[in-house]
Structure formats: C-alpha cells, structure tokens
Amino acid sequence: ARVESVGAPNALDANPDDYRLVTFEAEERGYLKSHSQPIITRLYNDYFRFENSLDLLTNEGEWFLDSSNGDLYYKPYSDQTITDLAFVIPVSEQLMTLTGTAGVYPATDPVENIDFRNITFAHATWMHPSDHGYVEVSWGIYDESTTAYKFTDVPPAAILLTHAERINFDGCTIKHVGGFGLIAEGKCSECSFDDMVIDDVSGTAIYFTGPLLVRGGVAGISYVLTGLSVTNSQLSRIGQDFWGSVAALWNFARDITFEDNELFHLSYAGIFSRFHGPYSVKRNRFHHFMQKMTEGGAIHTQTDQHNSVYDENFIYKIDPDGFSATQGRWAGIFVDDASRNITGDSNVISAKSDLLDPDRNPNLWDTFLPEGSWTNTHYDDDQPAYLTEGAGKEWSSLVNGGTRRINWTTPDRLRLDIADTESATLLA
C-alpha cells in the first residue's frame, strides 16, 4: 500500500519513540476499508506491506525513488559496493503480445504457427501500484473495489497470447518482470512451452485462463483453452513483490500438461489447479515454497478436475518465513475446496520444516474430496500423511490404496534428471 506520511505518533501515547504513525494514500484508504474481512482482522489484525517512503528504506536490497527530483536511493547488500553496481530501469510493461480473433471454436482467425527458440525476454515493469496502489486478492490478481471484496484486474504479462494456436517456445527465458511472466487467454490451443526458464517475477509466472482477463474492472468473454503444455522448465523466485502469486495457475482449461519441471523459491504455492481438466501433472520437483503466505501447498487443487492425474511428483523443503511461519496451514499437496475426480500415484513428500506443527501441517491436506484416490504416497516418518477438513464430512479417498511412511529415500522410479539448480545438500 502506498504511504501518504510517516510521522511521530500522538505524544500522549505510550513509548512514542518505539513506533511511527503511518497513513495511507486516499485510494488505499478506500480499498483497505472494503477488504478488511472480519476473520482476517480478528485473527491476523490485517497484514500490509508499505512502500514509497524514504523512512521505510531500512533493509538491504531496498530502494526508493524520489520522484520530485529523480534521486534514487538504494541500500546495498553487505557484499556490494555501490560504485560497482549497474542499475537497469525497465520502461515497457509488456515485451510481446500475440493476438488473434475469436469465434466458433477453434478461433476464427488465430495467431498461429510461430516458433520462438533460445530468446531471452527480460526487464518489464508495472507502474500501476506506484500510481494507484495495489491490494491483492489471490494469485497476484488485485482488487480496486471500494464497496466489496471481489476479483477485478490482472497485472500485465511480459508475454501475452490471446486466441493463439500452435505457438511454441523452446529454450526461452523470461526474467526480471514487474507483473506476470506469461499469460495465455481465450481460445488458445496446442501451444507448448519447453525448456523454459522463468525467473525473478513480481507476480505469477504462468497463467492459463479461458476467460479473457478482467481489464479496467470489466470481465472479458469466457472461453476454454485446451492442449497447452509446460515441460522441462524451471520456475524460480516467483511472487517477489506480490506474495499471493503462484508459479503456475490454470482456470477454465482442458488437457493441460505440466511435466518434468522444477519450481522453487516461491512466495506461495507451486501450481494452483482449478476447473475444468483433465490435467496431467507428473514428475515435477517442488522445493522452497510457501515462503511468504499460508493456506496452500506445492500442489494446490480446487473444484472438479475431470479425471486429472498427479503422479510421481517430488516435494521437499517447505520454507515458511514471516507471516506464513506464524500462521501455519501448509502441506506438500493441498486438496482444497470441492476438489474431486483426481488421482495421484507415487508422489514423494518431504515438506517438513522445523516450524511445522504435525497436528496442523501434514504432508497431504484433504478438503472435500469425495471422488478420487492417492496411492503409494511416500512421506516422512515424523509427520502425518493427511488431514481431513470439513465438519461432519468423512472422506476415505486418501487411504484408498494406502500411504506409507518412510525414512527418507528417493524412489528409483522418480525422474529427477532435470537440472537441479541447487545443491543436493538441500535434502539433508
């Protein structure tokens, strides 16, 4: 939230030197009033991140731009020398857009049959938070309503595909992005993203959505996209600024393939999988996730997924910090609201942390899953395999086929041959 002023508190307050009175800009005051949900206010006393004040420049790596005179202030890390640093200031909010037209499926006049190979797309900004503030809802989507709590707009993506068919990215990189990394929307079909690196993204890295994105508070027309794949790729340092963001999110989609990828250093969840399905999520590697937020997991599902398959995924090293460390509710696999028609086999979960409470933070969290099964699930010896949630509901899906506690080993059948960007000592 943008800060209007940082000043001394009322002189009559106790210990006035220990804190400062922070006031919001006018727009934020309206947003935040409508977004203070009772349960959040009661349990957490709300949670804000402040910026746009030199008084708040306290931690290494932070910066402040004085727009009145153009002076840039930066607090270097201990191993940096300010005179040796180079600064890149991005100008564009989007680096490439490919747009076709819609009609009866498939798209009437799609943009189609283009291959991109070994291209780096880097340095995109997003000025909206600086000009108007930013109040996040979920997944990096933000809300500018002053009357109700609802989903409205989506940040711009460095690469945007709209009504696209057979667009293929091979060996490409997207990095240093101020909004989202990659969005495919509308009647997109048969597009592939292989051997990608998406790194250092302020918001969500990949968003596949059938409905056209909301722009200016107005929702677009709903479609269903189909046949998109992400394979052999690395998604890292995601949600750097907007902590509710995820590495990959899909919504109103069919036949999505997400296989043999590595996802790590994530502020929130790894993948967030919603209707429609079916989806194939196999042999992915997740670690250092849920670093800033709570209520989620490396794999997070919602709604009926029409026989989606989640097999042989390797999940380890949950890494809560700050707000997420104090509030809990994490899991390696988080089966959420009305998830159903899902099967998972031979997943390995070692998502433990010294901060985890085994009674609240299991490796597999089951919520409202009346249809589906998880078989041959391997998990650590000192944590429960699953937890059911929902008053009066007793589901047996997680024990169909059984789960097994193990002293940590890596099953031979897991494909872990994709590049590990960190040391094997992470497993220690």
| Residue 43: predicted pLDDT | 40
Task: Give the C-alpha separation, 39 to 45, whole Å.
Answer: 9
* Residue ranges of domains in the chain, CATH in brackets: 3-84 (no CATH), 96-427 (2.160.20)
Range 371-394 burial, b when 16+ CB lie within 10 A, else e? ebbbbbbbbbeebbbbbbeeeeee
| Residue 48: predicted pLDDT | 59
The 3 state secondary structure assigned to the chain is: CEEEEEECCCCCCCCHHHCCEEEECHHHHHHHHHHCCHHHHHHHCCCCCCECCHHHCCCCCCEEEECCCCEEEECCCCCCCHHHCCCCCCCCCCCEEEECECCCCCCCECEEEEEEECCEEEEECCCHHHHHCCCECCCCCECCCCCCCCCCECCCEEEEEECEEEEEEECCEEEEECCEEEEEECCCECCEEECCEEEEECCCCEEEECCCCCECCECCCCCCEECCEEECCEEEEECCCCCCCCCEEEECEECEEEECCEEEEECCCCEEECCCCCEEEECCEEECCCCCCCCEEEEEECCEEEEEEEECCEEECCCCCCHHHHHCCEEEEEECCCCEEEEEECCEEECCCCCCCCCCCCCEEEECCCCEEEECEEEECCCCCEEEECCCCCCCHHHCCCEEEECCCCCCCCCCCCCCCCCHHHHC
pLDDT < 50 positions in the chain: 11-12, 33-47, 217, 353-362, 366-370, 381-428
| Residue 416: predicted pLDDT | 33
Task: Give the C-alpha separation, 126 to 117, whole Å.
Answer: 26
pTM above 0.85, yes or no: no
- pLDDT tens by residue, 392-403: 223 233 333 333
| Residue 424: predicted pLDDT | 31
| Strand partners for 403 | 377
| Strand partners for 335 | 301, 366
| Residue 258: predicted pLDDT | 97
- pLDDT tens by residue, 121-162: 999 999 877 676 676 777 888 766 555 555 567 899 999 999
Give residue 215's identity as a one-letter amino acid code. Answer: R
Task: Give the C-alpha separation, 61 to 403, whole Å.
Answer: 44
Query: What are the φ/ψ torsions at residue 130 (nearest 5 degrees)?
Result: -70, -35
| Residue 209: predicted pLDDT | 87
| Strand partners for 180 | 157
Task: Give the C-alpha separation, 260 to 267, whole Å.
Answer: 21
